[in-house]
Amino acid sequence: MIPKILRGTGLTALAVGLLAFLTGCAADAELDTLNPQGPSARSIDNLFDPVFYVAVLVFIFVFAGTFIIWWRFRDDHDNEEFPHQFHGDTRLELAWTIVPTLILVVISVSTLVTLRGLNETEANAVTIDVDGAATQWEPEVVVVGQQWWWEFRYYLNGLDGVDLTDARHLPPADIVTANQMVIPAGEEIELAITSRDVIHSFWIPALNGKKDAAPGRVHPWKLEADGPGVYFGQCTEFCGLSHSRMRMQVVAVTPDDFSAWVVEQLQPAGEPEAAAAQRGMEIYQSQCARCHVVDGFNDGSGADLVANAAPNLTHLMSRTTYAGGIFNMYEPNGSLDRTQLEAWLRDSPAEKPAYAEGRRGMPAMGLDEGQIDDMVAYLTTLGRAPALDIIAATEVE
Ligand SMILES: [Cu+2]
């Protein structure tokens, strides 16, 4: 027998509450904020946990009090007398003024201390071994948000003198990637976050907190991964049509792997050998180079969108996801996911909604099937696939 209080609205409320609770359950949640794997995320979690438990205590206290009052002073119908009235209680009033004040003071002070710590950056230079010559790099990555993907720019000589005020005309960088940021594990990475269009927000829940990417502004931020691994993120400021398809990943690797990655990314693209790939390169020249950049081939000057505002394709194959991190480049066995790539080249707005006519996202290019084959042949010459374990760890659904 269901108690009276749980019938009707009560039952509905309980069911809705339970459903909401269950939606929060996942065995392997990529965007879990409660499983920090870097110092910034950990300091946020260290603040969140106690505040949460205090909130639970307050909740229990307030609801228990409400319940007791409701029960004790209920009208039980057979008592005609008005309940006993009283007014004022100095001890109670002092208690419920002082205790919440103390709680709030403790919470605000610890919040301020945490915020201060999060905004302090002190990255140490990392040594990158470029062809036997050691280079010192102060780990800084410029993060550019735009509808609806992320660009990561690495200036290996540091950001001094690099003018970031207009994200639509950034100075050429040594390495430019999209949607996957590769970093050395165990090192603090400074971020300079900006946007080419509207406000976005950069957040890798396991590594750091949210920071807006705002056009015309450069927001300093940082992240660090305790160890090698793949950490997922998602734009967290609603930014239009494909906001939900604006994802990113941080791939933290060992210092040696990082050096190797840098050396590889510094290579410009070469001339392809196969005839199909050469035909693809010609199509690239006539149709794609007006937006995209392939280092060693075209530099994006005179780009049709705003300069460099389409993903740099020089090392496309070294990225395991594309188009805002929503498609896999590879099958789990490491072979190219050709069907998906062809679908993208056939009609990208059908794969990922975009206001193409408003110069956002990639427009449908109207290639025929032969051209698509040639294009795939060319694209697969651009960069090298990463190791199978990275392919597996970065796989998206
Ligand atoms: Cu966004």
The 10s digit of each residue's pLDDT in 54-73 is: 999 999 999 999 999 888 87
- Cβ-contact 222, 121 below 8 angstroms: yes
- Cβ-contact 222, 208 below 8 angstroms: yes
Give per-residue pLDDT as tens, 331-385.
Answer: 999 999 999 999 999 999 999 988 766 667 888 899 999 999 999 999 999 999 9
Estimate the crossing angle of helix 369-379 against helix 275-283, to 10 degrees: 100
Q: What type of residue is 311? A: P
Q: What type of residue is 155? A: Y
Ligand 1 mean position, distance from CA 58 (Å): 36
Q: How many CB atoms lie within 10 A of CB 1?
A: 3
Ligand 1 mean position, distance from CA 179 (Å): 12
Ligand 1 mean position, distance from CA 102 (Å): 39
Q: Is the pLDDT of residue 4 over 70?
A: no
Ligand 1 mean position, distance from CA 368 (Å): 32
- In angstroms, what CA-CA distances link 250 with 201, 275, 373? 15, 36, 31
Residues 243 and 284: their CA atoms lie apart, in Å, by 28
Q: Which two tokens stand for residue 184?
A: 């050395």
Ligand 1 mean position, distance from CA 361 (Å): 12
Helix (H, G, I), strand (E, B) or coil at 223: strand
Q: Which two tokens stand for residue 373?
A: 């084959």
CATH topology of domain 275-394: Immunoglobulin-like (2.60.40)
Ligand 1 mean position, distance from CA 291 (Å): 20
Q: How many CB atoms lie within 10 A of CB 267?
A: 13
Q: Is the pLDDT of residue 1 over 70?
A: no
Residues 223 and 325: their CA atoms lie apart, in Å, by 19
Residues 378 and 281: their CA atoms lie apart, in Å, by 6
Sketch the domain layout of the chain as residue ranges: 126-265, 275-394
Ligand 1 mean position, distance from CA 281 (Å): 31
* Least confident among 131-135, 200-204, 294-298, 333-337: 131-135
pTM: 0.90
Task: Please state which CATH class domain 126-265 belongs to.
Answer: mainly beta
Q: Is the pLDDT of residue 24 over 50?
A: yes
Residues 240 and 191: their CA atoms lie apart, in Å, by 24
Cis status of the peptide bond prior to 148, with omega within 30 of 0: yes
- Residue 86 is predicted with a pLDDT of 77
Ligand 1 mean position, distance from CA 243 (Å): 5
Ligand 1 mean position, distance from CA 216 (Å): 15
Give per-residue pLDDT as tens, 157-209.
Answer: 899 989 999 888 888 899 999 999 999 999 999 999 999 989 999 999 999 99
Arithmetic mean of pLDDT, 221-246: 94
**Per-chain residues with Cβ under 5 A from ion ligand 1:** 200, 235, 239, 246
368 — phi, psi (to 5°)? -85, 170
How confident is the prediction for the chain on average, in pLDDT?
A: 90
126-265 and 275-394 share one fold? yes
CB within 8 Å of 32: residues ≥ 6 apart: 26, 205, 206
Regarding beta strands 189-195 and 247-253, do their DSSP bridges make them parallel or antiparallel, or are they unpaired?
unpaired
Ligand 1 mean position, distance from CA 299 (Å): 26
